[in-house]
Each structure stands twice: as C-alpha cells, then as structure tokens.
Structure 1
Amino acid sequence: MKTSAKFIVLHPTVHKSGGGGASSHRAWLAVFILFFIFTFAFTLLTTRETSAAAKTAINATSASKSQLPKPISDALLHYASANASSSGRMSSAEMKSIAAVLRRCGGACNFLIFGLTHETLLWSSLNHNGRTTVIDESAYLVSTLEEKHASIEAYDVQYSTKVSELYYLMEHYKAEMHKECRPMQNLLFSDCKLAINDMPNHIYDVAWDLILIDGPRGYSAAAPGRMAPIFTAGVLARSKRGGADQTHVFVHEIFREAETVCSDEFLCRENLVEVVESLGHFVVGKMGIDGKEVGFCSNSDSPESI
C-alpha cells in the first residue's frame, strides 16, 4: 500500500489576518516619529533659551567687571590730587570731571590726550579697558614714559606754532576756513597752519570718545601754545567715523587768551557743557557730508568769551 508524504510549508503571511496588522504597525511608527520630533524641538528651544539667558548673565557680569570699582577710582583720584596745588597740575574737582566721563563708558573709552602730565598714569588707570594715547612735544619725556610704562601708547610731535602768533594764525584760519582749515577733513593732507598732521596715521582713524588738551606749553609768548591741539580736536570730533555721535573735549587752563579764543572758535560756546575751575568741558557732535560748506559753530558771529 503506497503512502504519500505530505509537506506543510509555513509562510509568514499565513499568520497575518488581513491588513489590520500592517496598519497598526504604521500607526505606532507615526506616533514614535511624532514623539521624537516633539522631543527634539522642545530640547532645541529650551537649550536656546538657556543659552540666551546664560549669555545675558555673562554680558552683565562682564560689564560690571569692566568698570573699575568706585572705591578704587576714588582712591586713585585722591592720591593723584594730593599735590594738586603745584603749578600746572589739575585740581581734584577738575580730575573728577574727566573721571566721571571715563566712568560712564565703563573705563573702555578711546581717550586722546595732548600733553604728558602728572595725571597721565591716572587717566590710563581709570581707562583700564580702553585705549589711552598721549601726544607730547618732548621726545625725551615720551621715551622715558615708554621705558617705565610700556602699556601706555605715546608719541611725540613737533609744533610749528607760537603763542605770540595767535592772531596771525586766526587770520590764516579765517582766510582758509572753507578750504584747508575747514571743520571736516582728513588732517593728514591738510595745509592748514593749525592742523597737526604728523601724528601716526592710525590716530586719525580712531573714533575718539574723549580728547583732553593739557599741552603743549602755553605760558609764554615763545611757547607752542594749544591753538593747534584745539583746532585738531575740533576737526577730529566732527570728522570721525563710527563710535558715538559726540566727542567730549576738555581744555585745561581755558582762561588763558589762546585757549579762550581757540575754544570759542573751534569747539564753540554752544557746545560748552560746564567749566570746572580752569577746565572747560565741550561736547562736540559729528558733522554731515556737507561739513565743508559750513563753519565750526552754528552761529557765524564771533562768540562771547568764556
């Protein structure tokens, strides 16, 4: 009697009952994908918020750290003014006027100083996070400063003016006020007798926040006088690119004739903020592209004396 062997072949599809299982698997897959997307988006958003908060906190901390603590700045001012009665030195009140502006920019100003004086180290310390540049008539004093305090940027220039030439220089300016002596220009290429054009080239490109005129010598007829630094400060403030729209300009010993005449003409009475003892404080704004067509002051009449 013949027997036939029977083979049973199992196939995965035999255990599937219609398409319901496939639909179920696809549904779970979709749920998983949506969950993954939600989790990823939530993590990304919270990470960004945390990062932004952290950056804000870091910036706030950096700003507070960049400022010299007030007790330290007060101590520096105190010791700097200990011998303020000496001839030519600033008084405590005068130094505090400049220090107040330095403090407002967090000790991170672009600070240009004409005249290497007893207060030079004070200005550099109060402006510890900024740029302090000194221009002086004495190559010897500049060299000595660089040897002792290499961190301070200093340069010497040769002045061709004399206090005795004040009114001759003013006549020259009036004749050239719309040409070589205009209030908005590149001083490097100026032929105005009042322009200082032999400083290092990069000095003219800096957007100075403060300019202090405490030199050169101006106490005798043969001294260079401060006519050229005052004129140059007026042009730098009006011609600057970038930075704040205004520049604080301080003129020490402002009641001397040359300082008064030039401050009136190039910094302008309308820009005078205050006078603290013998320190004049001006705030000079930038000029527009039409600066070459106008004078330094909005009032063309001769201003009153300070």
Structure 2
Amino acid sequence: MKSGGNTNSKLILVHPYIQKQTSSNRLCLLAFVSIFTIASLLTLLYTTDSIIPSKNVSSVISSAPISQLPTTAINALLHYASRSNDSYHMSHGEMKSISDVLRRCPPPCNLLVFGLTHETLLWKSLNHNGRTVYIEENRYYAAYFEEIHPEIEVFDVQYTTKAREARELVSAVKEAARNECRPVQNLLFSDCKLGLNDLPNHVYDVDWDVILVDGPRGDGGDVPGRMSSIFTAAVLARSKKSGGNLRTHVFVHDYYRDVERLCGDEFLCRENLVESNDMLAHYVLERMDKNSTQFCCDRKKRSVSAFS
C-alpha cells in the first residue's frame, strides 16, 4: 500500500532495552566522577599533612613575633592614669619607671604585684602579652575586683604580721637566714615568719621578671606592714630557676616609710638599688646559689644595668 508524501521517509524504533542501557551508563559515569573527586581530595589532604606536620605548624605560630603596645598608646595610658583625682595614685614619673622596665622585659614577661591599687588595670595593659598576677589582703575586694574585671588574675592572702612588729620580725629572720628563712627556697614549704606560704602552688613555680610591692597597707602600727611582701619578693627573685633571664626587677612603693626602707635594706639590699626617691625604690636582684645563707653582701653599692 502506497502512502502520499515523501517515499524516502524512514521509521526508527528504539527498543526499551537500549534506553535502560543509556541510563545505566550515565549512572556509572557519575559514580566514577564522584569516586575520582573524593580520591583526589584525600590525596591532597594527605600530601598537605606530609609537607607541614602539625607540630611544625605549632612551632611556626609560636615563633611569630609578639607585638608590643605602640609608644603613643603607652604614653596615653600613663598620661590619663597620672591625672586621677585619687590621692593615693602614683605620679607620672613613678609609673613611667615601671613602664620602662616592662617595655624592656623579654616577652612573655611575668609580673607579680602586691596590692590592688589605682594602677591595677594599667599594669595589666602595659604587660598585655605577658602574665600579670595580683596579691591582695582583702579577700572581699579581691573577689569583687575579679568579678567586674574577669581578665584580672588576683589571689587573696592573709597577713599575720603588724607594722609595729617590723624590727623584731626582721631581726628574727636574720637569725634564721641559714635555716627556715634562707634567701633561696620554695616558700610553699617555708616556716619563716615573714614568708608567704599560702599562695596557690603555681605562683611559686613562676620565674617572675618584675615584682611590684604596693601592698598590703602600711600606714599604721596595727595594720599589716609590707615586711612579708618584701621578704617574699626577695626570695622569689633569688630562687629563679636556671636558664632564661636570671635577673628580677623589684619595685617598692612608699619607700619613705620606715618599714619599706628597713626591709628594703635588709632583704633587697642597697647594693642592688639602682634608683630611688621618696616614693619608689627600684632594685635589680640576681639569682643566687641554692646554698646561699645571706641576702646582702658586703660590697659597696654597685650599678646594675637593666635586663642586660
């Protein structure tokens, strides 16, 4: 039977089996591409780990230079801190003396401060890449201050001495300098009357680079004097472990008072005094041998450079 139209037309029939085969080929191709992609990613990750091991990454990060506050920022902090209406704040010159030492301190710098004062936040800021720890006599104020400033690390301590007992206590310590009041010791296990042995254990394990004694109160005979804090600072400075910076800068505020000057002379020693005025004394102490039995030597006053 003939039909009208183009006699060259052809009819093509596709068998259902061929359609199924095409779909299967596409699925196989997709699966192959997925497997290849996953294998490539795993190979890349493995190669990266092989080139840069994890411990090498840590060393690269730790070896990155530690930035310090710009000079303009330090000057601004000192300027505004010295313009406080608080009559007990330090002068600009006193704060600058401590700031200059902190700037030269090899990072990370360890700073120990006796007393929460007007300058507490300043010291933390100036030593922002180091560790700063505060020791406070008033446990309630210490807890309150740490609550409103959680970035501050402060510990409270109970002083058992009175300022009026200073000379008697200093004499007793000098007599026991070969035993429980040695200049080099772990104060955590000390029975010395002026040694603070109830601080957290890790405080005694730190090699302190700078120590500031600005507490406890010492403005009366029946309040805790600064005999214990000065003695403790003297022992911590001389008991530093070997290696690293073996010198410690110790500052004593209110140096015009009898207790501060007496304990400074006996435990920090005049030969280590590098700068002083009526309000602030600056000592530089070197680590001592563990068998040392006296705090001060008989040599004449000598000049000690800062962080040489």
What TM-score comes out, normalization by structure 2 length? Answer: 0.74
Tell me the equivalent position of 1:26: none
Is 2:259 aligned against 1:237?
Answer: no
Partner of 1:274: 275
d(CA) in 1 for partners of 2:246, 2:291: 16
Q: Distance in 2 between matches of 1:289 and 1:184?
A: 5
- Alignment-derived partner of residue 298 in structure 2: 299
Aligned pair in 2 of structure 1 residues 257, 184: CA closer, same or farther (>3 Å)? same
Per the alignment, residue 189 of structure 1 pairs with 189
The list of structure 1 runs, each at least 4 consecutive aligned residues, that deviate by more than 2 angstroms after superposition, is 85-88, 105-108
- The one-character-per-residue Cα deviations of 1:145-187 (angstroms, maximum 9, x if unpaired) are 1111111110000000000101110221122111111101111
Q: Does structure 1 conserve the Cα–Cα contact (< 8 Å) formed by 2:271 and 2:299?
A: no
Secondary structure of the 2:285 match is strand
- In the alignment, the residues of structure 2 paired with residue 105 and residue 245 of structure 1 have an alpha-carbon distance, to the nearest angstrom, of 12
For 2:284, what is the secondary structure of its paired residue?
Answer: strand
SS at match of 2:167: helix
* Number of equivalenced pairs: 244
Corresponding position of 1:169: 169
Could you say what secondary structure the match of 1:254 adopts? Answer: coil
- Output one character per residue of 1:201-244: Cα deviation in whole Å (capped at 9) or x when no partner: 10000000000000000000011010000000000011111431
Give the unaligned 5+ runs of structure 2. 1-58, 301-308
Which has the higher mean CA deviation after the structures are superposed, 101-110 or 143-152?
101-110
Distance 1:79 1:88 in 2: 15
Percent identity of equivalent pairs: 56
Unaligned segments of structure 1, at least 5 residues: 1-54, 302-306
RMSD over equivalenced CA pairs, Å: 2.4
Which residue is equivalent to 1:44? Answer: none
- One-letter identity of the residue aligned with 1:207: D
CA contact (8 A) 1:94 1:276 kept: no
The offset of 1:290, in angstroms, is 2.3
Q: Distance in 1 between matches of 2:299 and 2:197?
A: 26
The reply on whether 1:89 has 2:89 as its aligned counterpart is yes
The match for 1:198 is 198
Q: Give the superposition deviation at 1:107.
A: 6.2
1:125 alignment partner, SS class: helix
Distance 1:300 1:197 in 2: 31
Q: Which amino acid is 1:177 matched to? A: A
Separation in 2 of the partners of 1:116 and 1:96?
18
Map of 1:145 onto structure 2: 145
User: Which residue does 2:251 correspond to in 1?
Assistant: 250
In structure 2, distance between residues paired with 1:297 and 1:127: 30
Q: Which amino acid aligns with 1:164?
A: R
1:47-62 correspondence to structure 2 within 5 Å: 62=64
Which residue type is aligned with residue 125 of structure 1? S
Partner of 2:155 in structure 1? 155
| Structure 1 residues 282 and 222, CA gap change in structure 2 (3 angstroms) | same
**Residue in structure 1 matched with residue 135 of structure 2 by the alignment:** 135
| CA distance, structure 2, for counterparts of residue 173 and residue 100 of structure 1 | 33
Secondary structure of residue in 1 paired with 2:259 = helix
Write the letter of the residue equivalent to 1:79.
Y
Task: Give the whole-Å Cα distance in 2 for the aligned partners of 1:156 and 1:136.
Answer: 5
Counterpart secondary structure, 1:100: helix
Following the alignment from structure 1 to structure 2, what is the Cα–Cα distance between the partners of residues 259 and 127? 25
CA distance in 1, matches of 2:182, 2:208: 19
How far residue 277 of structure 1 moved from its aligned partner, in angstroms, is 4.5
**1:75 and 2:76 correspond:** yes
2:219 aligned partner: 219
For residue 105 of structure 1, report the CA deviation from its aligned partner: 2.3
Q: Distance in 2 between matches of 1:178 and 1:115?
A: 29
1:300 to partner: Cα distance: 8.9
Residue by residue, what CA displacement relative to the aligned partner does 1:121-160 show, whole Å, maximum 9, x if unpaired?
A: 0000010000000000011111111111111110000000
Report the Cα offset of residue 276 of structure 1.
Answer: 4.2
Partner of 1:304: none
Cα distance, 1:108 vs. partner?
3.1
| Paired position in structure 2 for 1:11 | none
Aligned AA (2:189): F
Tell me how far apart the structure 2 counterparts of residues 117 and 192 of structure 1 sit (CA, whole Å). 27
Aligned AA for 2:173? Y
Range 210-219 or range 106-115, more displaced: 106-115
TM-score by length of 1: 0.75
SS in 1 for 2:111: strand
